[in-house]
Amino acid sequence: MSMVFITRKERFNAAHRLFRPEYSDEQNLKVFGKCSNPNWHGHNYTLHVTVKGEISEKTGFVTNLKELSRIINEKVILPLDHRNINLEVAFMKGKLASTENLAISIWQELEGEISGLGATLYCIKVEETENNMAEYFGE
């Protein structure tokens, strides 16, 4: 049987701030630069979810992309879109709101749901700007 990789792209717009609460604003500025602005800033994030699996003989699909999109939207986009990542997103509570941590936390939200679709989560890619992105492969 052949292994095929399927990627679904979704988007969310959110505010965030990079900072450690125990630091002063000056210390945060030194470590995190303008991303530490106490008044927040934000991004149009792009999320790429890649799953792998064998093709179903019945459908020609690794997995139904509508189902995959529904799960990503329910578990990840709905909690993140038009939100403040630091203040309002349960799965980011207590974590630094970096692109790296977003990728790992989104993996954790999706891994179980996707195995329920008969496929295996392979990669979470989060693009913060057109120049910066993080990828996590679950290891």
Contact residues: a copy of itself, CB under 8 A: 2-11, 13-16, 18, 20, 31-35, 37, 39-44, 50, 55, 58-62, 65-66, 81-84, 87-88, 95-101, 103-104, 129-137, 139
Which of 54, 74, 82, 111 is catalytic? The answer is: 82
- CB atoms < 10 A from the CB of 52, how many? 15
82 classed as catalytic: yes
Q: In Å, how far from its chain's centre is CA 12? A: 9
10 classed as catalytic: no
Report, in Å, the least distance between residue 40 CB and a copy of itself.
Answer: 4
123 classed as catalytic: no
Which of 10, 113, 128, 135 is catalytic? The answer is: 128
Which CB sits closer to a copy of itself, 52 or 113?
Answer: 52
How does strand 41-54 pair with strand 3-16? antiparallel
Which CB sits closer to a copy of itself, 26 or 34?
Answer: 34
Please report, for residues 53, 78, 122, the alpha-carbon distance to residue 4 in angstroms, rounded to integers and kept in the order given.
6, 28, 11
- Please calculate the CA angle 86-39-93 and round it to the nearest 5 degrees: 10
Burial track 27-50 (b if 16+ CB lie within 10 A, e otherwise)? ebbeebeebbeeeeeebebbbebb
Token output for 77: 């986009």
Report, in Å, the least distance between residue 128 CB and a copy of itself.
Answer: 8
Which of 35, 43, 113, 123 is catalytic? The answer is: 35
Catalytic residues: 35, 82, 128
